[in-house]
Amino acid sequence: MTSLPKPLPAPDPATSEYWEGAKQGELRLPKCRDCGKFHFYPRTLCPHCGSVNLEWKNCSGRGVVYSYTVVHRAPSPAFEADVPYVVAVIALEEGPHLMSSIINVPADRVRVGENVRVTFRSAGSGDEMLPMFELG
C-alpha cells in the first residue's frame, strides 16, 4: 500500500536555506548580524531588533524538550499509520524554540526537560528532509 501524501513544507526565498540545510543533514538558523541573536521561524527580518542584516549559521542541533504532546488522533489519513506520535517544542541551545517530532523512542518515554539532538527524516517523496529529534 502506498502511503498518503503528508503536507510538505513549501520553501520560499526567506526559508529555502533552512530546507536546503535539512537536505544536507544540517540545522541552519538565521542569526542577526546587528543584535547577534538567533531567531526562529526564518523570516526576512530579525524579530528582536528589526534588522534585515541576517546570516545563516549551522547550529549544534542540541536542545531540551520545552513541551510535548502525544497525538492519538491523526489530523488526516496521511498520519494515521504514525499514531501515537510525539509533537514537541524544542528549546535549542542557541535560544530559539521550534516545533518538531521526537522519534526513535516509545511516545510514553518522552518528558519535559530531557536532552534531545537533531536527526533528519524524509518528508515523503523526493529528497525533502524534515528536522526531527531523538532523546540523548
Write out the residues near another protein by the rule CB under 8 A. Answer: 6-12, 15, 39-41, 66-76, 79, 82, 85, 87-89, 96-101, 112-113, 123, 130
- When the beta carbons of 58 and 67 are compared against another protein, the nearer one is 67
CB of 59 or CB of 98, closer to another protein: 98
Closer of 47 and 136 to another protein (Cβ): 47
Which grid cell is 84?
501515537
Shortest distance in whole angstroms from residue 109 CB to another protein: 13
In sequence order, the 6+-apart residues with CB closer than 8 A to the CB of 107 are 70, 84, 85, 86
Residue 44 per-residue DSSP state: S
**CB half-sphere exposure, 118, CA atoms < 13 A:** 25
| DSSP 8-state assignment for residue 108 | G
In angstroms, the CA 47 to CA 27 distance is 20
**CB 104, min distance to another protein, A:** 15
- Closest approach, Cβ 55 to another protein, in A, equals 19
Smallest distance, another protein to C-beta of residue 10, A:
7
